[in-house]
Chain A
Amino acid sequence: MASNMFVVPQTRGTVLCCKCGISMAPNPANMCVTCLRSEVDITEGLRKHVTIMHCPECDSYLQPPRTWIKAQLESKELLTFCVKRLETDLKKVRLVNAEFIWTEPHSKRLKVKLKVQKEVLNGAILEQSYVVEYVQQDHMCESCTRIQANPDQWVASVQLRQRVTHRRTFFYLEQLILKHDAAAHAIKIKQMDQGIDFFFANRSHAVKFVEFLGKVSPTKSRHDKQLVSHDPKNNSYNYKYTFSVEISPICREDLICLPPRVATSLGNLGPLVICTKVTNNIALLDPLTLRQCFLDTEQYWRHSFKSLLGSRQLVEYDVFNIEVVSPEYNVGGSKYVIADAEVARVSDYGKLFYIRTHLGHILKPGDRALGYDLYGANSNDIELDKYKGLVLPEAILIKKSYEEKRQKKRGKPRPWKLKSLDMEVDESRGRANEQKMDSEYEEFLRDLEENPELRFNLSLYRNKDYQPSEMVSVSDGDDLPSVPLEELLADLELSEQEDGEDSMRE
């Protein structure tokens, strides 16, 4: 048929409402809206008063049986929560709109206006709005009660230890933890001798933290639990769980003498190696052959050897002469050049050593370097004795020293700073330890400046107090290695939102 068929326009007539007689358009009920409303109340049988529980400490509302939902007054979450409490009622009608009516904040009443639709009387759909009043009763939630009762109550604790004399690892770990927010659930962090203790309210948080540690450092852990209380009727038991995590004592820049079995298993790696990187693997570099090997956490703990000399025993050397012997090698991302060097200890210029070093790429005559004095050291290492006929080099250089240049910059603030965890310190230690800690922290910061790969995993923040001074631009020769400004994160102004956990530390 043709599409332009003549269609008679249909206008709706008006009918009289069967109750009140006013003229209206016909609808399925044939009653005007007012009469229909007076006839039928679709909100009949729906609750108009509901009681809800509110925790005044953490401003959250109870959704039975157990969940507490945190919500602000007149927020979307609170509206969703209120509507959810009426779920059974709202199954009978269709909800079209819900909104809050303002009530005084301290009145402990919430009013929500709901618009609902329902089908009545042969197919007519009626829409009606009504107000539901929620009475807020104060009731502390379980976690707040527990905290109030005993603020130090913990359920699981992680005892992190490293049996070395310095705290460099813990400074680095602290930054890593902050970056990954791994200690977000810790209710208390305590600094102990040779380690840190973390306390958690939940066993699963502790397990998650232990796994995080296992991913970033070579650790060995064991766990245990202690019965606190027992409900015989319920057959439920309350335990305190303890996880003991030990980090391997091998640190960066340590000199290690590998036990013979490990050396052979790694392909006859020269028994003296330097540790170049520690994550969950340990990277060992033979300075004389420039071979690098990785030791797995498992492999390490199977042999669990200790280092021969640590960074505390580093001695300053003056370099008089350098002769490059080999071309530049790229070993695991860093470049090394083997060179013969003529060095003498700064403390004793009388004795010259001719040694082979792997730092040929950065050392020049007149530089200072830090290294291990094997000539003067008295090592009582068992492993060393196992090697019969091993000739020890007289010195092994580890890194270049910027001590002189640092003298110039002493006292000036750095352009960057780090955040720190909120730790409780054991006060009984005394003054000497505090000074030691400060100097160690200073060394750690220097370490960060010198090594870009160390900085890679951490967040550094811009220091607003730093003013670049005129003097710096005048310095000649090679500059002190410093952190380029692009790497710095603009310090977030989170002063209101920051919990007590993080604090700025210069």
Chain B
Amino acid sequence: MATRLQFENSCEVGVFSKLTNAYCLVAIGGSENFYSAFESELVDVIPVVKTSIAGTRIIGRLCAGNKNGLLVPHTTTDQELQHLRNSLPDQVVVQRIEEKLSALGNCIACNDHVALTHTDLDRETEEIIADVLGVEVFRQTIAGNILVGSYCAFSNRGGLVHPHTSIEDLDELSTLLQVPLVAGTINRGSEVIAAGMTVNDWTAFCGSDTTATELSVIESVFKLREAQPSAIVDEMRKSLIDSYV
């Protein structure tokens, strides 16, 4: 189920949060509304952790992770690292990596099986990603943009990419990622997909400017309608899928 929300009047929720299948990271905002929105959705399912990275609130763009691990940039302070290690479940490995490109969220896009990375990423970083996150790493561009982490958002079920992606590129990426992909926009025509939304296998959070059309596209490509847990059950659905793993 897709939810629309705002962080301190900004629609770029993907910048201030990171959602995976095992945990959720949220930035520390002036009011508690942002945190409560996440909490109300995810309360008993996965832990929602309030944190900062490198003293900033743009945590969604600085870190990259999936259910297996979390990678944070070298600018993360020791306290933050410790806080993360304490708050997250034990099976999630938190690793700080030394990488010139420190906005890992912009450079790496991943789900639980595959990751797409910035073409200029270090060799070692690539190995660490493969190791910590347990994924297969592919260096790619999306619609000619090297910041793959910004221009696409995908989960284990589907993905949304930059609207100018050509059909050939879409096919290629889809083959690599093994999920259905669609080119679309978020937040009323914005092309920076991952900044405008954050998604996991059963839920998604989008900026409040997202139009109904965009929302329906998101819900269909990420297959959120059948996913649990959801408080609202639609009569038209044939059945509810119990497991999301």
Contacts and interface: CB of A to CB of B under 8 A. Distances in A.
Interface of A: 8-13, 15-21, 26, 29-31, 121-122
Given A18-B188, A21-B216, A30-B185, A12 B164 contact: yes
A10 B164 CA distance: 11
A446 B194 CA distance: 101
Interface string B32-70: 000000000000000000000000000000000000000
Contacts of A18: 185, 188-189, 211, 213-214
Interface stretch (B101-109, B129-137, B146-154, B166-174): B166-174
Contacts of A17: 213
Nearest to B211: A18
B213 A16 contact: yes
A334 to B, nearest CB: 88
Contacts of B165: 13
B184 A31 contact: no
Contact of B189 (A8, A13, A21, A30): A30
Contacts, number: 50
A13 B170 contact: yes
Contact of B166 (A13, A21, A29, A122): A13
B168 A11 contact: yes
A29 B167 contact: no
A29 B166 CA distance: 17
B183 interface: yes
Contacts of B216: 21
Contact of B191 (A11, A21, A30): A30
Interface string B201-215: 000000000011110
A13 B185 CA distance: 13
Contact of B169 (A10, A15, A21): A10
- Judged by DSSP, the binding face of B is mixed
B213 A26 contact: no
B76 to A, nearest CB: 33
Best-surrounded residue of B189, B214, B217 (most CB of chain A within 10 A): B189
B163 A15 contact: yes
A218 to B, nearest CB: 84
29 contacts: A10-B166, A10-B168, A11-B166, A11-B167, A12-B166, A12-B167, A13-B165, A13-B166, A13-B167, A15-B163, A15-B185, A16-B184, A16-B214, A18-B185, A18-B188, A18-B213, A18-B214, A19-B213, A20-B213, A21-B212, A21-B213, A21-B216, A26-B164, A26-B183, A29-B189, A30-B163, A30-B185, A30-B189, A121-B189
Contacts of A15: 163, 183-185
A205 B217 CA distance: 78
A349 B214 CA distance: 124
Contacts of A10: 166, 168-169
B174 to A, nearest CB: 12
Interface in B186-231: 188-191, 211-214, 216-217
A300 B168 CA distance: 97
Nearest to B184: A15
Given A9-B168, A16-B184, 11 more contacts: A10-B166, A10-B168, A11-B167, A12-B167, A13-B165, A16-B217, A18-B185, A18-B189, A19-B188, A21-B213, A30-B190
A122 B191 CA distance: 10
Nearest to A9: B168
Contacts of B168: 8-11
Interface string B5-39: 00000000000000000000000000000000000
A17 B213 CA distance: 8
Nearest to B169: A10
Contacts of A122: 189
A26 B162 CA distance: 10
A15 B162 CA distance: 10
Best-surrounded residue of A12, A18, A20, A21 (most CB of chain B within 10 A): A18
Nearest to B172: A8
B211 to A, nearest CB: 5
Contacts of B191: 30
Contacts of A26: 163-164, 183
Contacts of B217: 16
B168 to A, nearest CB: 6
B74 to A, nearest CB: 33
A12 B167 CA distance: 6
Given A19-B213, A21-B213, A26-B163, A13 B183 contact: yes
A23 to B, nearest CB: 11
B189 to A, nearest CB: 4
A216 B208 CA distance: 87
B180 to A, nearest CB: 14
B164 to A, nearest CB: 5
Nearest to A14: B183
Contacts of B183: 13, 15, 26
A19 B211 contact: yes
A109 to B, nearest CB: 40
A502 to B, nearest CB: 70
B127 to A, nearest CB: 29
Nearest to B209: A18
Nearest to A26: B163
A356 B18 CA distance: 126
Contacts of B163: 15, 26, 30
Contacts of A13: 165-167, 170, 183
Contacts of A30: 163, 185, 189-191
Nearest to B143: A26
A292 B212 CA distance: 104
B214 to A, nearest CB: 5
B15 to A, nearest CB: 18
B46 to A, nearest CB: 30
